[in-house]
Amino acid sequence: MTGFGASETENDNWRIRTEIKSLNNKFLEMNIRLPKSFKDKEIELRQLLTFRIGRGSVSVSVIAEKKDNTAGDSLNINLPLAKSYKDKLENMAKELNIATPDLWSTIMALPDVIKYEESEGLEEDWQLIKNSIETAFLQFDSFRLQEGKTIGLYVKDCIDKISLNLETVEKEEVPRRESIKGKLMQSLADNKEDVNVDSNRFEQEIIYYLEKYDIAEEKSRLKHHLNFFLECLEKEANGKKLNFISQEIGREINTLGSKAYFFPIQQAVVFMKEELEKIKEQLLNVL
């Protein structure tokens, strides 16, 4: 969602500079700054940009500089009000016996003595601003697309690394099962003088423990989630959808770690979690 775009344009009356920039946000928050002459166009502009931007914390700034500072604007001085201020201030100074060396600047600073009224913008001037905004938006969108491609390559690399660690888990599965069985057999041998063991019952217990710690389903689901993530990344890289899939990936990785009880597999799980955190961090910047 991070992006930036800017443009400058002008006509006979105005010189326009537009900037659009955005930062990450789960929702769309848009802050629009328009010249006073075009404040009434804010709703129109907000509707124009809402569906095109999607989400993010967006700032749209339009700075309009008039080429002829007098054209269409009026600077009014309220002389009767200024005279009234002057008379009352002089009377007050006289009553208080104080000097009034800078009465002019005091009067000019009082409310409503000077009024500046900016004329309403013409439709052709608004069209100029819209064109400027459109140009800035195209740059803004291009920036986001380019960043999206970079993020896509980075995230794909993280998924590939998770897949490599999953292959490590599969390679270590046989040694893991032998390790569990060996520990049970060793425990039995250490206590054989104190415990009478039924061989058939013991074999059933071995099978029970091996099934309890079996991770075949987790490995299969994790592999499917990884493939589905890559498929969505290529076809429809929706940030929220990819985030949901990453949550499922994390759930399977956590289950692998909790059921493994075997250091090489737990080590691979740590590496997978590290890559998954990188993915989640990047997905915050995907629409």
Query: Residues of the chain with pLDDT > 70: what percent?
Result: 86
Predicted confidence (pLDDT) per residue in 88-134, tens digit: 888 888 888 887 767 777 887 788 777 655 556 678 888 899 999 99
Predicted confidence (pLDDT) per residue in 221-261, tens digit: 999 999 999 998 888 667 888 999 999 999 999 998 888 77
> Shortest CA distance to 21 belongs to which of 67, 68, 51, 62?
62
> Shortest CA distance to 38 belongs to which of 148, 120, 154?
120
What mean pLDDT, rounded, does the chain reach?
83
Q: Give the Cβ contact number of residue 261 at 10 Å.
A: 13
pLDDT reported for residue 228: 94
The CA-based angle 266-257-273, given to 5 degrees, is: 80
Residues 6+ apart with CB under 8 A from 97: none
- The DSSP 8-state label assigned to residue 14 in this structure reads E
| CATH architecture under which domain 3-69+123-143 falls | 2-Layer Sandwich (3.30)
pLDDT bucket at 71, cuts 50 / 70 / 90: very low
In sequence order, the β-bridge partners of residue 275 are none
pLDDT reported for residue 18: 94
Q: How far apart are CA 165 and CA 181, in angstroms?
A: 24
> Shortest CA distance to 232 belongs to which of 241, 224, 222, 223?
241
Helices (H) and strands (E) in the chain, counts: 9, 6
Q: What is the mean pLDDT of residues 29-50?
A: 89
Q: What is the mean pLDDT of residues 34-43?
A: 86
Tell me the Cα Rg of the chain: 36
Predicted confidence (pLDDT) per residue in 152-165, tens digit: 999 999 999 999 99
Residues 3, 285 contacting (CB under 8 angstroms):
no
- The DSSP 8-state label assigned to residue 12 in this structure reads S
